[in-house]
Amino acid sequence: FKSTNPVLHFFISVFFPSLHWTIRSSAPVSKINKYCNSSNFHSTWGKKNIIMSNITVDPDVKPGEYVIKSLFAEFAVQAEKKIEVVMAEPLEKLLSRSLQRGEDLQFDQVISSMSSVAEHCLPSLLRTLFDWYRRQNGTEDESYEYRPRSSTKSKGDEQQRERDYLLERRDLAVDFIFCLVLVEVLKQIPVHPVPDPLVHEVLNLAFKHFKHKEGYSGTNTGNVHIIADLYAEVIGVLAQSKFQAVRKKFVTELKELRQKEQSPHVVQSVISLIMGMKFFRVKMYPVEDFEASFQFMQECAQYFLEVKDKDIKHALAGLFVEILIPVAAAVKNEVNVPCLKNFVEMLYQTTFELSSRKKHSLALYPLITCLLCVSQKQFFLNNWHIFLQNCLSHLKNKDPKMSRVALESLYRLLWVYVIRIKCESNTVTQSRLMSIVSALFPKGSRSVVPRDTPLNIFVKIIQFIAQERLDFAMKEIIFDLLSVGKSAKTFTINPERMNIGLRVFLVIADSLQQKDGEPPMPTTGVILPSGNTLRVKKIFLNKTLTDEEAKVIGMSVYYPQVRKALDSILRHLDKEVGRPMCMTSVQMSNKEPEDMITGERKPKIDLFRTCIAAIPRLIPDGMSRTDLIELLARLTIHMDEELRALAFNTLQALMLDFPDWREDVLSGFVYFIVREVTDVHPTLLDNAVKMLVQLINQWKQAAQMHNKNQDSQHGLADGASHPPPLEKSPYSSVFHVVEGFALVILCSSRPATRRLAVSVLREIRTLFALLEIPKGDDELAIDVMDRLSPSILESFIHLTGADQVTMMMSCFLVL
């Protein structure tokens, strides 16, 4: 009985919530030390470390009980396999690379099924899970104190130390799997309440992993930190339903540490405890839960104001930021709730003053930003412009970390100002926005400020501005970035600026066409240690933006100028880093891409990628169809792999979605191969012919889809005539070009190339049939070859030897 069985949920409905069962298993892991005596530890492990693989489930029990026991047995077996895999891996490899969600779909299914089961029997499932955990660790009592196996103090037997590291790695792997399940099943507490002793059991175990281990270091240090983060995630889930219990435990632990005499160990212990709360998230509703969360935040804020130690203060600031950013993204009328208002007022002035000191600025700028983002409208407007100037002044800071923090503060503040507050009067708003734009994109500069920053941050900043001030964003920012209106003599490539300008134009156009509404507030992008982070993939449009569509979305004034700018950019890039960097170029022979795509070339290649990815969404204005196809075809042999892929994807999109481009693309690509590739470069030639086959395939797919749609629309009955063929215009010229090319390469001395030529001829015949083109006087090349090959072969076969006959017959069969 597998956990993925579709009848599981039916059986669950008859399950008794009070069910608890015992599991028969082999000896506890505490006895595994005797297996470590073998010189080959890994091979011994697979044979003797049999944990819970002999679970038996009585088939006569009630259906629901049978389902749950079978599911847990499946979990135990899968977990054992995962642990065995981890034990065979190098000690240096982080456990998250093998165990986190998304690495093993079957194991993920088992854990997800346990979450579904927990909805009906959470207490029993938790007790059994703890039984499994204690058995795995060989601790049958209730304490299961964390036991680091290795220590830097043991300088004796190196072999013994390695065994200790392995055993410790196993303990950590058990904790990892245990936390994965806890994260999933504890989400069901609102549906199925859990007795307080079980909640305290989870809390005690988690907070023990938050204790600082003084002097501990070793191969497993990274994994120890990962496990602490996983227990922090468990606490974050538990706090959603048992917040008061979590709060009480945290406050008690903190109180105990504060009563101790301050020392480096105590400081690190406090920081470790604070980090254990980093996945706690405020519940926005009901309001009682919201208020309870911020009462707790006020307690922490009071400690922040009182504590003198810099590191603890910074740790608390980091905790506040992690908690407040999701609140800032969702908060609306909640800014008026007294507890939040008091929290902001309690911290803001002191934090702002401290941030002016160099030792605090890096940690406190994000906190000031968050406090402003969750403040009332008037409080924000009264204070943000002062802090904004501080951020702008740090954009050119020599410390890249500080300039990045200032930029991230800026774009979150801007989001609140533009998206939530909807700006101020036109004059004031214009002044604020101009000060930001001038700092980020200085007039006359070829770069952006700060340098070496991910371009998507700048794209988002302009997108926020465009949401409320589209004309300002286009004319004052995007046109300047794209060098719109500059003459051919003064036009120069500014890669980063142009990349930002083109990308943001596409983002704005897509957003308007898809009616996306307001862009969300930028988050921290924190990845949960369990691997559960939800990643929303943005879908971008691939259909050409026409003049009519640009008019509908209010961008018709700007659209033509962006297309002209794209034309100029493409021509310059092709001249500088396009044609000279083709693999057929003499200068590129025997060179590695990583050696060539460096210095000034790299940002230009990045811009080239963006331009090619923008086609056919944007068709450059001023470049003929033939020139554009030639450019795209030539880029399929560029040194940069990503650029090659993008160029070919664009050609395929033109073949699939643009009927009036198909003949030009196909013939243009053939002429490109004949002119640029030739058989001097056999590998490039083979790859080019393979691409030609794929392009014909794209046309075939389009024809098949069209015929299928026609059939469904006309509802063909038996004996009914077929609707008109897809396209009646004669394609004989383009087909003759492709066939002629295939016949030429069929003369190649390389068998692989000849086989590709036959594939081209076959694809043309299939496409010819799909398009329902009347043959007339024309006959396809492959049909002629099929018809004449036997007689030609017979005419000279008597002149050849037996081995040559076999070879020729095989060639004939290929055709």
At residue 796, the pLDDT reads 76
Q: Which of 210, 204, 270, 203 is nearest to 237 (CA)?
A: 203
Here the tokens at position 438 are 């001038």
At residue 715, the pLDDT reads 60
Q: What is the pLDDT of residues 569-615, one digit of tens each?
A: 999 999 999 999 999 998 888 889 888 999 999 999 999 999 999 99
At residue 147, the pLDDT reads 52
* Omega within 30 of 0 (cis) for the link into 450: yes
Higher pLDDT, 537 or 233: 233
pLDDT band at 724 (very low <50, low <70, confident <90, very high): very low
171: CB partners within 8 A, 6+ apart: 137, 147, 149
At residue 441, the pLDDT reads 97
CA distance to 6, 291, 582, 647, per residue, from 640 (Å): 48, 55, 9, 11
Here the tokens at position 517 are 């509404």
Phi, psi of 330 (to 5 degrees): -115, -15
At residue 550, the pLDDT reads 95
Higher pLDDT, 45 or 444: 444
Phi, psi of 638 (to 5 degrees): -75, 160
At residue 34, the pLDDT reads 34
Amino acid at 463: Q
At residue 94, the pLDDT reads 93
Here the tokens at position 267 are 């400081």
Q: What is the pLDDT of residues 186-215, one digit of tens each?
A: 999 999 999 999 999 999 999 999 998 877
Q: What is the pLDDT of residues 118-163, one digit of tens each?
A: 999 999 999 999 999 999 988 655 444 445 554 444 455 778 888 8
At residue 6, the pLDDT reads 36
pLDDT band at 771 (very low <50, low <70, confident <90, very high): confident
Map 657-694 to HEC letters. Answer: HCHHHHHHHHHHHHHHHHHHHCCCCHHHHHHHHHHHHH
Instruction: Determine what percent of the chain is predicted with pLDDT higher than 70.
Output: 85
Instruction: Determine what percent of the chain is predicted with pLDDT higher than 90.
Output: 70
At residue 66, the pLDDT reads 82
Residue 414 and residue 436 in contact, taking contact as beta carbons nearer than 8 Å: yes
Which residue's structure tokens are 């468990």? 234
CA distance to 53, 205, 320, per residue, from 58 (Å): 16, 32, 51
pLDDT band at 790 (very low <50, low <70, confident <90, very high): confident
Residue 32 has pLDDT above 50, yes or no: no
3-state secondary structure of 805: helix
Mean pLDDT of 622-648: 97
Residue 220 has pLDDT above 60, yes or no: yes
At residue 798, the pLDDT reads 72
Higher pLDDT, 541 or 281: 281
Residue 626 has pLDDT above 70, yes or no: yes
Residue 381 and residue 421 in contact, taking contact as beta carbons nearer than 8 Å: yes
At residue 27, the pLDDT reads 36
Q: What is the pLDDT of residues 464-484, one digit of tens each?
A: 999 999 999 999 999 999 999
Mean pLDDT of 682-704: 96
3-state secondary structure of 638: strand
pLDDT band at 815 (very low <50, low <70, confident <90, very high): low
At residue 714, the pLDDT reads 64
Here the tokens at position 746 are 């069929």
Q: Which of 308, 284, 195, 188 is nearest to 238 (CA)?
A: 188
* Omega within 30 of 0 (cis) for the link into 616: yes
Mean pLDDT of 383-406: 97
Rg of the chain over Cα atoms, rounded to whole angstroms, equals 34
At residue 689, the pLDDT reads 97
Phi, psi of 748 (to 5 degrees): -65, 150
At residue 636, the pLDDT reads 98
Q: What is the pLDDT of residues 5-27, one digit of tens each?
A: 333 333 333 333 333 343 333 33
Sign for the CA dihedral angle at 429, 431, 433, 436 comes to: negative
Residue 279 and residue 236 in contact, taking contact as beta carbons nearer than 8 Å: yes
Mean pLDDT of 440-444: 93
Higher pLDDT, 716 or 350: 350
Kindly report the average pLDDT of the chain as a whole number: 87
At residue 732, the pLDDT reads 72
In the DSSP assignment, the letter for residue 35 is G
Mean pLDDT of 225-251: 97
Residue 415 and residue 372 in contact, taking contact as beta carbons nearer than 8 Å: no
Residue 103 has pLDDT above 80, yes or no: yes
